[in-house]
């Protein structure tokens, strides 16, 4: 199983502070059955901007420790890139990292809104032959209030990534319900842990998948895991026809 969104590099953002803590997260990933992790520290974020050089350095450090411990897991380079005016140039000159060297770009929106220039950025990324992956849309306030905002981004060529902890209930019932509604409307394509720490933001990779299975969404589990693998392999992901969210379904739990 591939985790496409993980903050496991030490001392660079709001993830683990030490190499020992990072290695603890890797052990947890192996225990959950994860075989590949794309490391995605924050880039061009108001609080954290982990430059490519720092990502590569920390990535190499933890890879050495994994080899010493003989852990059966593979790491891949990446970043969670905050959307902004300069993102296209950063991707063009190679200073911003795609997911595992693929055409897929993990794109983070602000937590409270969808900027007016988002569609223009999506179109520019697509014009470069790359595909924007909207990170954790279920935790975006504007999308939760009006899910058709995500549908608009999907219709313009983006795909999106749900968070394991959101499905597992780690962020509360409202976000859990939002997650299921987005999935039901075929607005989600990939799956990631967005792990930050062993105690407060754990992987919950298996827990999220188990919740989907309890909801009888076995096909969704298969598609998420297949698409994650396809991203690492730089292949086309499986897309289902998105549908317009029904307003009444959303107002029932947004308060």
Question: What domain count does the chain have?
Answer: 1
Q: What is the pLDDT of residues 196-242, one digit of tens each?
A: 998 899 999 999 999 999 999 999 999 999 999 999 999 999 999 99
Across the range 138-160, mean pLDDT stands at: 96
pLDDT at 252 over 80: no
- CATH number of the domain that 107 lies in? 3.20.20.140
pLDDT digits (tens, 9 = 90+) for 3-30: 999 999 999 999 899 999 999 999 999 9
SS (H, E, C) the chain: CEEEEECCCCCCCCCCCCHHHHHHHHHHHHHCCCCEEEECCEECCCCCCCCHHHHHHHHHHHHHHHHHHCCCCEEECCCEEECCCCHHHHHHCCCCCCHHHCCEEEEECCCCCCCCCHHHHHHHHHHCCCEEEEECHHHCHHHHHCCHHHHHHHHCCCEEEEEHHHHHCCCCHHHHHHHHHHHHCCCCCEEECCECCCCCCCCCHHHHHHHHHHCCCHHHHHHHHHHHHHHHCCCCCCCCCCCCCCHHHHHCCCC
What is the residue range of 122's domain?
Answer: 2-251
């Amino acid at each position: 199983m591939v985790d496409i969104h993980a903050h496991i590099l030490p001392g660079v953002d709001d993830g683990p502070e030490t190499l020992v803590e990072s290695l603890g997260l890797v052990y947890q990933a192996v225990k959950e059955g994860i075989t590949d992790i794309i490391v995605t520290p924050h880039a061009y974020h108001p609080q954290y901007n982990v430059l490519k050089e720092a990502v590569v350095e920390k990535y190499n450090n933890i890879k050495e420790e994994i080899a010493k411990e003989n852990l059966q897991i593979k790491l891949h380079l990446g970043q969670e890139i905050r959307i902004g005016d300069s993102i296209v140039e950063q991707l063009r000159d190679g200073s911003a990292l795609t997911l595992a060297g693929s055409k897929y770009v993990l794109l983070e929106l602000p937590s409270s809104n969808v900027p007016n220039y988002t569609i223009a950025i999506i179109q520019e990324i697509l014009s470069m032959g790359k595909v924007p992956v909207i990170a954790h849309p279920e935790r975006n306030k504007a999308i939760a209030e009006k899910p058709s905002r995500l549908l608009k981004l999907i219709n313009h060529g983006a795909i999106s990534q749900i968070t394991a902890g959101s499905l597992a209930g780690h962020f509360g019932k409202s976000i859990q319900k939002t997650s299921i509604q987005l999935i039901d409307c075929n607005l989600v394509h990939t799956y990631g842990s967005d792990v930050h720490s062993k105690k407060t933001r754990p992987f919950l990779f298996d827990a999220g998948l188990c919740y989907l299975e309890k909801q009888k969404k076995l096909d969704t589990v298969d598609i998420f895991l297949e698409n994650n693998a396809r991203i690492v392999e730089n292949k086309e992901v499986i897309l289902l026809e998105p549908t317009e969210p029904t307003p009444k379904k959303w107002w029932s739990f947004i308060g």
